[in-house]
Structure 1
């Protein structure tokens, strides 16, 4: 996916986010992110892409940035200014500089999603955290999207490469990032109107209990793990061990005869 194609894909996604199902997704993701980021502490946090939501609204870090991945910055629907435009495959941040990185639907529209995650791992401090948002291909929406590829009537933006949650977890594991929390939501069928989405509100209440893995949208939170060094005991312990070596029984017998 070249830069022009990627830009067109993101524009299509922006338009989709203004539709009733797009508003439905934004509402769920905002509520979920508010809970996830509230207790993540540190100094530096960045949200990359999707300025239509404020992924860091409930976070209390003193330094927060909204980064965009388009050449021409979009208007933020949350009133925040876009601080920097960037290439998500080459992040302009120092190594070990970020405490939190949020990627709302960035991997799906990237030509090299693995490289994006490698860059995130690079810029995160040890024990820093990343949150990935994505569409679940194993859902009613995913099935509708597969049918759309055959009929030409797409429900979601057609250029997105939707990645399953188990696959994301495997990629994170390869980068030594341990998954700490996952969430799935938006269980309503692939309806296009607000009225029909509202009719299926009961599915959002029942989904986590009865079909938890089939939500249309997921979030994965992971922590950057750094392999620790093997601790070696202090030298005085070795000396103590030598001092306490028992005298062989044969030597004791010889000492008693000599005496």
Structure 2
């Protein structure tokens, strides 16, 4: 039996995002996702997991999906929900997606390499992936290590946090070229909103003086295909075509507002 690549651990991260520290992280991530995805164009985009963060909110692609292992209580105006059993087996056709966003998926996956391989499969040439994760080389990472020794965990305990250099190596092996990266959340690992606000000055100082020690990072990479040279949109010679249809196989279960 195949073991799902994600489970209760990433669900516990969703609950953690409702804590003061989680809200602090979520605010930084939402602002950064909005800035990065606003100017990424195409037809089809997908956010894999963690529906508590609307990573595609600012993106203007006509087709947007959110995959999750269960149906959220409220869908609202969010992208269409695709319920999957395993993030390592995305129910989308090969080379059918322009953008894939992975918010904390790899560090809570049983097989993070397989998740990335699956992302590489579904991305079109020059398609983009955005990965967000906790930085083990930060005060929060040290606090998590100490928590494993004492039993007082600051972050969900089942996460295996992936260093940025390690992640870059994985992406390079899949011919994905990193073209942008950001660190954020420089405040110490405080449990209350009061103390997090007191250390708010560290956000600007950390970005200037110790930029690689932020508690969270976000990496944007492009899928490169050797021997391929894009010289312009194919419809330039034939007139504008209609947007591509839904690239989803018959095996998925898609729930919409309709």
Give the TM-score of the pair, scaled to structure 1: 0.84
Alignment RMSD: 1.8
Q: Secondary structure at 1:116's aligned position in 2?
A: helix
Aligned to 2:217: 218
Q: Does 1:61 align with 2:61?
A: yes
Q: Secondary structure at 1:52's aligned position in 2?
A: coil
> How much has 1:73 moved relative to structure 2?
2.3
Structure 2, unaligned runs of 5 or more: 230-258
Q: Does 1:88 align with 2:87?
A: yes
Higher fraction of helix: 1
Structure 2 contact 143–154 (Cα < 8 Å) conserved: yes
Aligned to 2:161: 162
Give the TM-score of the pair, scaled to structure 2: 0.84
Superposed, 1:143-162 pairs within 5 Å as: 143-162=142-161
> How much has 1:10 moved relative to structure 2?
2.2
Structure 2 contact 136–142 (Cα < 8 Å) conserved: yes
Superposed, 1:36-51 pairs within 5 Å as: 36-51=36-51
For 1:166 and 1:130, how far apart are their aligned partners in 2? 16
> How much has 1:2 moved relative to structure 2?
4.7
Superposed, 1:107-256 pairs within 5 Å as: 107-228=106-227
Which entry has the higher C-alpha Rg, 1 or 2?
1
Structure 1 contact 37–58 (Cα < 8 Å) conserved: yes
Deviations 1:31-87 (A, max 9, x none): 00111011111000000111111111111111111111x2x3233587526511221
For 1:28 and 1:53, how far apart are their aligned partners in 2? 11
Q: Secondary structure at 1:61's aligned position in 2?
A: coil
Q: Secondary structure at 1:83's aligned position in 2?
A: strand
For 2:141 and 2:213, how far apart are their aligned partners in 1? 9
Structure 1 contact 105–134 (Cα < 8 Å) conserved: yes
Larger relative contact order, structure 1 or 2 (CA cutoff 8 Å, min sep 6): 2
